[in-house]
A and B are shown apart, each in its own frame.
Chain A
Amino acid sequence: MPLDMMDKAHDARAVKLSARGVRIDFWNDRIKRNLRVLDGVDLDVREGELLAIVGPSGCGKSTFLGAVDGLVKMRAGEIRVDDVPVDKPGADRAMVFQQDSLFPWRTVLRNISYGLELQRRLSSGEIRDRATNLLELVGLKGFGEHYPHELSGGMRQRVNIARALATDPELLLLDEPFAALDAQTREFMQVELLKILARAKKTALFITHQIDEAVFLADRVAVFSARPARIKAIVDVDLPGQRTLETKLQPRFRDLQERIWRLIEEEAERTGLLTSTVGA
């Protein structure tokens, strides 16, 4: 019975993001045909949760994130955030893009305040204060007047995260934010991201192609199938205690990593077989 209770408590958290039957086609101009990228993705993300999406490369993970952000049009299905249907970008969502999407002509502080400047909700003084607070939150106090090119890759991604948090979104979307960083910086940034998210109390959807990154960061990991993608499996990451760099040494961590790897491998093999059949 106590187990049941815990399950209920888990489920009691409000659904922040719900995707139902999301289908997305891309027109390929070369072959003059519609390519189905996503074919009926169903997914729920609960309040305060970090859900990571992994899948074979080119499976449409980023496309799905684009649809959640409202940048990519869906062919069918529905995405709701706080029960409000998504059809265009909105203040309730913010995207952390891959490296180098910071505006090089804006200082760090003015990069962070970009979203707020567009919204014209706050006075310039309030925007400045908020941006300064976020700068501190991501551990870059004193770097406000620097330009992006003066920062290291890891620092730039902190700014990128701060820029997304500035508009106080309900849902943070992260599109392989650490993919361009070196291995060491990436590990540190993973720990840092968890701290930042805990402090900012945000729900997050995280795309990555690194399985260890997904397991380390996420409460649950959704595995996408090969294109046209659907959800192949959702793996609960039941790691005890706080996540630290030592977490990755736990046997349980390895088990989860292996399980997810096998799921992706299955998909890769399936498409691999498919290709060879067509080829022969």
Chain B
Amino acid sequence: MTSVTQDIVEDDAQGGPSRSLWARHENSLLGLFAVTAFMLFWEFSVLYGWVNPLFTSSPSRIIKAGAAMVRDGSIWNDLAVSGIEFGLGYGLAVIVGVPLGILMGWYRRFNALLEPFVNALYATPRIALMPLIIIWFGVDMSAKVAIIFLSTVFPILVNTMTGVRTIDRDFIKVARSFGASDGQLFATVALPSSVPNLLTGLRLGLGHALIGIVVGEMYGASAGIGYMMQTAGATFQTDRVMVGIIIIAAVGMALTQGLKMIENRFEMWRVDHRG
């Protein structure tokens, strides 16, 4: 406890290019160390026969399986199919969710009309709608796009709505005092002040979209990362399942990180979000 506190104090006190490599990247280096140690332990556990690789796979086996999938080209098709589904579903969710969220946040009556539907669907795990979606769309790509859309649109909508609704009254007063029209009030106050919430919605939506891909493809599909994992799992190809998990995790982390960076850029002006 004590040492941790001291480290933080030192970090704050020094802060500058003069610090050593270790001091500047301590957290990342500690993380890297932990992951490496875990991988080695995993690899050696299999090597010394402590666990059965049929169940656990191992880092070297996963790399080998991944390389084979790249070599025979099957991975590209799966990635492309999942990518297109994700792009369409997520894109559609943004196109629908952001304007609806803004309208619901801005117009009380519009909100009152749609709120029951939004609340009900937001509270329902969207995966529960999968059988219905299969009935409507079959098992081709449109079903996956639909489930990704439904998974993603509500977090985006609800967060955007909250952003518009929680505008500081003082800002509205200032805009009105300068004679702002409704449109100007919207463009110069409502929109910019809800950007942080909107971005949070986009980031949360991302996680839901990934769930949508995997579950949607496991439910019924002929290609895609989720489908690949499903078939590999059914035939005990643990290595290939692991490749799928790693791809999903890596994509999720990369996209989340990207959005996080955009968020930070926009929250520069928010005192409470700095540091």
Contact = CB atoms under 8 A, between A and B. Distances in A.
- The answer to whether A binds B is yes
Interface of A: 69, 71, 88-91, 94-95, 97, 100-101, 103-106, 114-115, 117-119, 147-149, 167
B178 A71 contact: no
B179 A89 contact: yes
B180 A103 contact: no
Nearest to B171: A103
A148 B188 contact: no
Given A105-B269, A118-B184, 16 more contacts: A89-B177, A94-B178, A95-B174, A97-B173, A97-B177, A101-B171, A101-B173, A103-B188, A103-B189, A104-B269, A106-B192, A114-B188, A115-B179, A118-B188, A119-B179, A167-B178
Given A114-B188, A147-B269, A105 B193 contact: yes
17 contacts: A69-B177, A71-B177, A89-B177, A94-B178, A95-B177, A97-B170, A97-B174, A97-B177, A103-B174, A105-B192, A105-B269, A118-B179, A118-B188, A147-B268, A147-B269, A148-B269, A167-B178
Contacts of B180: 118
**Which secondary structure dominates chain B's binding surface?**
helix
**Which secondary structure dominates chain A's binding surface?**
loop
B179 A103 contact: no
Contacts of B177: 69, 71, 89, 94-95, 97
Nearest to A69: B177
Interface of B: 170-171, 173-180, 184, 188-189, 192-193, 195, 266, 268-271
Contacts of A106: 192
A104 B189 CA distance: 10
Contacts of B175: 118
Contacts of A94: 177-178
Contacts of A88: 179
A114 B269 CA distance: 17
Nearest to A111: B174
Nearest to B177: A95
Contacts of B270: 104, 149
Of B175, B178, B179, most buried by chain A (CB within 10 Å of CB) is: B178
Contact of A89 (B176, B184, B269, B271): B176
Contact of A71 (B171, B173, B192, B266): B173
Contacts of B184: 118
Contacts of A147: 268-269
Given A71-B173, A97-B174, A114-B188, A149 B179 contact: no
A69 B239 CA distance: 71
Nearest to B185: A118
